[in-house]
Structures are given as structure tokens and as C-alpha cells.
Amino acid sequence: MNELAGKHIVLGLSGGVACYKSAELCRALIREGATVQVVMTDAAAQFITPVTMQALSGRPVYGSQWDARAANNMPHINLSREADAILIAPCSADFFARLAQGRADELLSLLCLARPQERVPLLLAPAMNREMWAHPATQRNLGQVVQDGATVLAVGHGDQACGETGDGRMLEPVELLEEVIAFFAPKLLAGQKVLVTAGPTFEAIDPVRGITNHSSGKMGFAIARAAREAGAEVTLVAGPVHLATPRGVHRINVQSAQEMLAAVVPRAQQATVFIATAAVADWRPAIASEQKIKKDGSGQTPVLGFVENPDILAAVAQSQHALVGDLFCVGFAAESHDLLQHAQAKRVRKGVPLLVGNIGPATFGQDDNALLLVDAQGHRELPHASKRALAQQLIAEIAGRLPAMQT
């Protein structure tokens, strides 16, 4: 999608074995449309060569404040003024100490100190041994650099190069890319608490069989990610899907419609926006067998009775929290035909201000979609695009409607 098109990133590498991840991070930033200028410390050059980073970035690598290539011989000024952001990945414990102390005895820390703080953000991706990460000195330095205006990204948990396991490893390149994209996203939902449902439900017939549908959850997960990037605190209640949780999103896994209802109702009372993208089963078996139902050779088929599942969207939309205007509810309708007619009827029936419709069979499991927005004023189409792009558009639509809800 070229989500970083027009952005110029100074990618700084300090000394650490995680420098090997910086090569892929550089490529990932460029794939999203950014230009990347690499600056390395002497210690970083012990782990990966400047030649590698020059080949990947397509630009000469800077490593010394005495670099004479600049006409004014001031690379720390030139590089920091050109940047839309400075990203230090990896940022070692030593480099955190340098930043906290305001040291400027090599190029990378010097350009961090010289950057115009009001327009050039500093993003730091920690990378160090778990004991170094937990040390009080490191934590003090983290607190100081945050106080000084830097943004410290999260650390990963897992195996470390030293053979130990714990916190402190640098995030993976794809995770860092997601964090950079999120950082630049307009914070249209800052201060909002968004609750999203996604995926199908699974209604058990017996311990090994059940009734479900083709919903992949991709649209709901894309919406959760877009809401988080827009500055919201996001909770995602997900049916049985095999999708990675978007960074910064709190996920709750459920199976059945009843489990989803139990997870949603109390959390909806703390939310300001509820987006019900889940494809919840309309019915469930009245009685789920405790043992597998087996064929007995008679040719007789089992007789199943069904009961209607709870209407989660209607329950939330008719809650006092929503009725007094403190919760903006958005419903989804996956139809097979007559989309506008069914979407309009469902919006009125559910009692929600905004209903989003799509043709289910055309989008289940796919990475793209087309949406129809239906409200009291009429309807509007969001043309065919990736679910990622549509999620961003939908979040912008919702954000634009919130002030009207609150007046």
C-alpha cells in the first residue's frame, strides 16, 4: 500500500547482534514507500557491514561526524533536518545511556541531540540481554529519554543470542514496520475505547463437530489494527480464526455465540465505540452431545433441534450505555443478495446509527472487499479495495461521526 510514501527515515544502528534484523527492516521500510538513510556506530559495524546497508538502502552509509562528503561538513545537521523520523534499531543499553546523558561524541548520538524535536520524532527499538534490560540503570535511562521526548518501542520476549530467555530482544522487522506505520497514522480516535468482534462462531454439535461459517476474521482484524493506529485503546473479541493479533490490541478468544456475548456485554459498558464485524451463527444445536455421534449402519440420520442464538449487536445497541449516547455502535451485514435492502432493514432492526454491508460469499477468506455504508441519511459505497485500506477508511468515517454523537 506504500503506507510510508513520502517519508524519509534515518535508520540508526547501534552495536548489537540484532543488527542483522535491521537489514530486513530497511527493505521493509523501502517496500512501504519510505526512503532510508542509514547511520551506523562503530560498534554496529562490528555486527553488519556498511556495504550491506548501503546496498539495501541505495544510499551511502554515514558513520562519522567528520565525514567530509557534506559540503558544510555537518552531517549531524543535514541528516537530522532531512528526516521525518529517526529510528534507532537496534538501540543498545549503551546507546540509551548516551541519549540519557546527552552525549555527542559520535555521529548517531550527535544527530539525535541536534534534531529539531518539535518536528523530527525519535523512535527507539531496544535490543539487549534480559538482565541488561531489567537493570535499574537501564530503566532509569529509558525513563529519562522518554521524558526528553523520545518514543521507546516495546521489546520482544523469547530466546536471546546469549542462550538465555526473557525480555529485551528487539522486535521483529515486520513488528517494527507496523509500529512505524502506526506512529505516523492520524490519531483520529485518540482517547476512545474501541471494542471489535471478528471471525465466525463455532456451535458444537458434539465434541468433534459443529456449525460455523466461512468468515476469516480478516476484516475485523484489519479494523482493530486501524483503530489502534488511530490512537484508540482496542479490545478484540475473536472467534476461532488463525490470524496474528494486531500489535497493541488486547485479544480475547471465544468459540460460541454465547461465549462471545459473555465477553462483549461487560466490556461494551466501558467502550465508546462498538464495531460488530463477527459473523455470529443465528442458531445453535439445542443440545450438544457429550460424546461423538457415530453412524450405526442403519442409515438413520441424527435429528438435531436448534435454538436461536442471542443477538449480540442488538443487546449492546439497546443497552443504557448506548441509548444515552455514550457508545457508538456499528453493525455489519454479510449478505448474498439485495445488499442495500437487507442492510437498511438490519440497521433499523438492530437500532444502530451505522450499518456496514458487504456480499459475504465474494469476500470470505479474501484480502479485499467492497463496503456499503448505511445510515439514517442514506447510503454510500466504499469501492473495492484491500481490507486494510477499507478498514482505515471506515475508521475515518466512524471518527467523523463521533462528535455528532456527543453533542
> What is the mean pLDDT of the segment spanning 101-129?
96
Does 407 score more than 80 pLDDT?
Answer: no
Residue 336 pLDDT: 80
240 close to 214: Cβ distance less than 8 angstroms: no
* Percent of the chain topping pLDDT 70: 99
For the chain, the farthest-separated pair of C-alpha atoms sits apart, in whole angstroms, at 91
The pLDDT of residue 179 is above 90: yes
Enumerate the β-bridge partners of residue 29: none
pLDDT above 90: residue 17: yes
Q: Express each pLDDT in 35-86 by its tens digit.
A: 999 999 999 999 999 999 999 999 999 999 998 888 888 999 999 999 999 9
For the chain, the average pLDDT equals: 94
- Residue 297 confidence (pLDDT) above 70: yes
Q: What is the number of other CB atoms lying within 10 angstroms of the CB of residue 383?
A: 9
Beta-strand relationship, 8-13 and 35-40: parallel
| Three-state SS letters, 290-313 | CCCCCCCCCCCCCCCCEEECCCHH
- Region 151-171: mean pLDDT is 94
| Contact yes or no for 296/259 (Cβ under 8 A) | no
In the chain, the N- to C-terminal Cα span, in Å, equals 36
Q: Domains of the chain (ranges plus CATH)?
A: 8-184 (3.40.50.1950), 193-406 (3.40.50.10300)
Alpha-carbon span 401 to 390, nearest angstrom: 17
Query: Does position 359 have pLDDT exceeding 90, yes or no?
Result: no
Q: Element (H or E) spanning 358, and its range?
A: strand 354-359
Please indicate, yes or no, whether the overall pTM of this predicted structure exceeds 0.85: yes
Catalytic residue among 19, 91, 112, 162: 162
Q: Per-residue pLDDT tens for 79-109?
A: 999 999 999 999 999 999 999 999 999 999 9
Q: How far is 141 from 109, CA to CA, in rounded Å?
A: 14
pLDDT at site 405: 47
pLDDT for the residue 403? 66
Q: How far apart are CA 145 and CA 286, in angstroms?
A: 59
Helix segments in 318-359, DSSP class H: 320-323, 339-350
Residue 162 bears catalytic tag: yes
DSSP character at residue 150: -
